[in-house]
Amino acid sequence: MTPPAKLSEIWVFLAQSPLLWLSLTLLAYLGALWLHRRSGANPVVNPVLVSVIAIVGVLLITRTPYDTYFEGAKFVHFLIGPATVALAVPLYGQLGRLRRLWLPIGVALLVGSVAAIVSAIGIAWALGGSHELLMSLAPKSATMPIAMGVAEKIGGLPSLAAVAAAVAGISGAIMATGLLNLLRIREPAVRGFAVGMAAHGIGTARAIQVNETAGAFSALALGLNGIATALLVPLLIKLSGFF
């Protein structure tokens, strides 16, 4: 039987190995994906949500700092860039429709982006949120890197903005199908654009699983809303007097 001291030494060694945390990330997601499929693709059993809960649980139990985990799993973080660029592939097949729909897309982008920003600030303000909290929540519907950058520039906390963006993405991916069905919105392009606006990358991943056209328009909304949020958040905050 291995003495406890030996087990502790082995764990310390393994915890410093990048391969351990990379393997944990991949295994957690594969397990979450298996559960998602076994549930009949139930949106509540979202693979991202389940894998995040599993990884956070392991980090808490082992008392591993997030920085240690990230150092090992940063290769997955690196792959976000190529994966985002790859979203242009299904979008390229929709160029004809994009040319015809540029006006409604532009209107939907402006209305959706403003609504996301104003609702986040308004609800947090009504509940007595601090200025720092409001500035962190304002860009929550943009993809995480943009949300963090915008929050930092306007006086928010990048770490809190990252959490808000993750919550928005996961909750949007979970609720989108039921809500859009309730509203009787059937057109894949419209459904996809709405999901991409509200739930950025996580919602886009879900949309691609459901329908290729929805995934393409979700990817378009993800990119456009990131740009719109970066431009509109400082402008709206300045006009509203929060600065």
Give 16-34 pLDDT, tens digit per residue: 566 788 888 889 889 988 9
Express each pLDDT in 85-141 by its tens digit. 776 677 777 777 777 888 888 898 899 899 989 988 888 899 988 888 889 998 888
* Of 111, 91, 93, the residue nearest 103 (C-alpha): 111
- Confidence class of residue 226 from pLDDT cuts 50, 70 and 90? confident
Half-sphere exposure of 35 toward its Cβ, with a 13 Å CA cutoff? 16
How many angstroms separate the CA atoms of 193 and 202, rounded?
13
Average pLDDT of 159-187?
A: 86
Which whole-number Å values give the CA distances from 220 to 38, 103, 200, in the listed order?
30, 14, 10
Task: Please name the residue that has the structure tokens 């200025």.
Answer: 131
Residue 206 carries which side chain, given as an amino acid letter? R
Whether residue 19 contacts residue 71, with contact meaning beta carbons closer than 8 Å, is answered with: no
Rounded to 10 degrees, the C-alpha dihedral 163/167/169/174 comes to: 160
180-205 burial, b for 16+ CB within 10 Å, e for fewer?
beeeeeeebbbbbbbbbbbbbbbbbb
Residue 204 carries which side chain, given as an amino acid letter? T
The DSSP element (H or E) to which 65 belongs, if any, is none
Which whole-number Å values give the CA distances from 109 to 31, 50, 55, 160, 232, in the listed order?
35, 30, 34, 25, 11
Average pLDDT of 66-75?
A: 78
The DSSP element (H or E) to which 104 belongs, if any, is helix 102-126
How many angstroms separate the CA atoms of 165 and 32, rounded?
20
How many angstroms separate the CA atoms of 229 and 233, rounded?
6
- Confidence class of residue 7 from pLDDT cuts 50, 70 and 90? very low
